Amino acid sequence: MSRVKIRIADAVTGLLLALITFPVFAAVDRLRLATQEWAPYQYSTADGGIHGLATDRVRCALGKMQQPYQIAFMEWSKAQLEVRQGAFDGFFVASRNDTRDKYATLSDTVAQQQWVLYSFQDVDNNQFATMDYKEGISVAATFGSAKWFWLKKNGYRVDKYPKDTRRLVDLLLERKVGAILETREVMEQEMQRRGLKLDSFNQLELYSNELGVYFSNEFLGRNPGFLQRFNQALKSCPLPATGVNP
C-alpha cells in the first residue's frame, strides 16, 4: 500500500506514471520500466498519453507477450539509479556501456541513434580528437547518458551536468559550453520545439549505435527466459519508419 502512495506522490511532483495492463501470460508480475522525456524516442502528453518511436516498439513487444507493465518518466540519471537499486526492473532506450553492463543486460535493438557534436565553431574529426580541444573546450551531454560517460572516459572537459535535452541546449545557446553532444533525432525535435533551425550550428557526426531496453540482472535472474521472449517478440514489431535509421 505504501509503495502505491509513493508512486502517486511522485506523479504529483513531476514523475509521470502510466499503468497499462494486459492479460497475464508469463509468470512475471507487472514489469516496472523507467524512462526519460526524450522525444522522438519516448515522450508523454498532457492527457497522460505515452508515445514515441522507441515506446511504441517496447509496448508492441510487451503486448505480444501479454505482459503487464508500468512506465514511469523521470530524470535519466535517476531512471538508471532506480534500476540499479531494484526499484524498477529496466530502463529504456539506452545504448550499451560498461557501467550499465555491471548491473543490467541490454535487449536486442529497439531503435538506432546518430551522435552529433553541435557547436558555433567549425570543428573536424581531427581537431575534435586533439588534446588542445579536449582540455580547452567545455563539452556537455545529458548527465548520466552514454554520451556523457563517453566524453568523460575519453578525456574531454566535462564540467556541466544538464539533466535533460532542454537544459543541455540552453548551455550551448547561452555560450556556457563550447559544444554539446546529442542524438540527431532528439536535437531535431528540440530545435523544432524552439522554432530554431538546426543549421544554425556546426555539426560533426561521430557515431551511430543501437538502442535497447536494459533489464536488471536481478530481475532476469528471477525470471529466466524473459529476455529471450522479449527479443523474440521484438522481431514481430516493425522498426520505426521515420526519425531513426533502420
Closest CA to 105 of 208, 210, 219, 27: 219
Report strand pairing: 179-183 vs 111-119.
Answer: antiparallel
Rounded CA separation 70/59 (Å): 10
Rounded CA separation 141/136 (Å): 16
The pLDDT tens digits for 74-116 are 999 999 999 999 999 999 999 999 999 999 999 999 999 999 9
The pLDDT tens digits for 167-224 are 999 999 999 999 999 999 999 999 999 999 998 899 999 989 899 999 999 999 999 9
Within the chain, strands assigned E span: 17-20, 31-35, 43-44, 50-51, 69-73, 90-94, 104-106, 111-119, 139-140, 179-183, 202-216
Rounded CA separation 180/174 (Å): 12
Rounded CA separation 62/23 (Å): 11
* CATH number, span 2-111+211-234: 3.40.190.10
> Residues spanned by CATH 3.40.190.10 within the chain?
2-111+211-234, 113-208
Residue 181: half-sphere exposure toward Cβ, Cα within 13 Å? 29
Cell numbers placing 176: 556556457
Q: Residue 125: pLDDT above 70?
A: yes
Q: Which fold has domain 113-208?
A: D-Maltodextrin-Binding Protein; domain 2 (3.40.190)
Cell numbers placing 240: 520505426
Rounded CA separation 55/110 (Å): 9
> How many Cβ atoms sit within 10 Å of the Cβ of residue 111?
27
pLDDT cut 70: percent of the chain above it: 86
Rounded CA separation 114/98 (Å): 19
Confidence of residue 21 (pLDDT cuts 50, 70, 90): very low
Cell 511522485, residue located:
10
Measured in whole angstroms, the distance separating CA 111 from the mean position of its chain's CA atoms is: 11
Rounded CA separation 29/102 (Å): 24
Q: Residue 6: pLDDT above 60?
A: no
Q: Residue 20: pLDDT above 70?
A: no
Is residue 23 classed as helix, strand or coil in its secondary structure?
coil
The pLDDT tens digits for 148-182 are 999 999 999 999 999 999 999 999 999 999 999 99
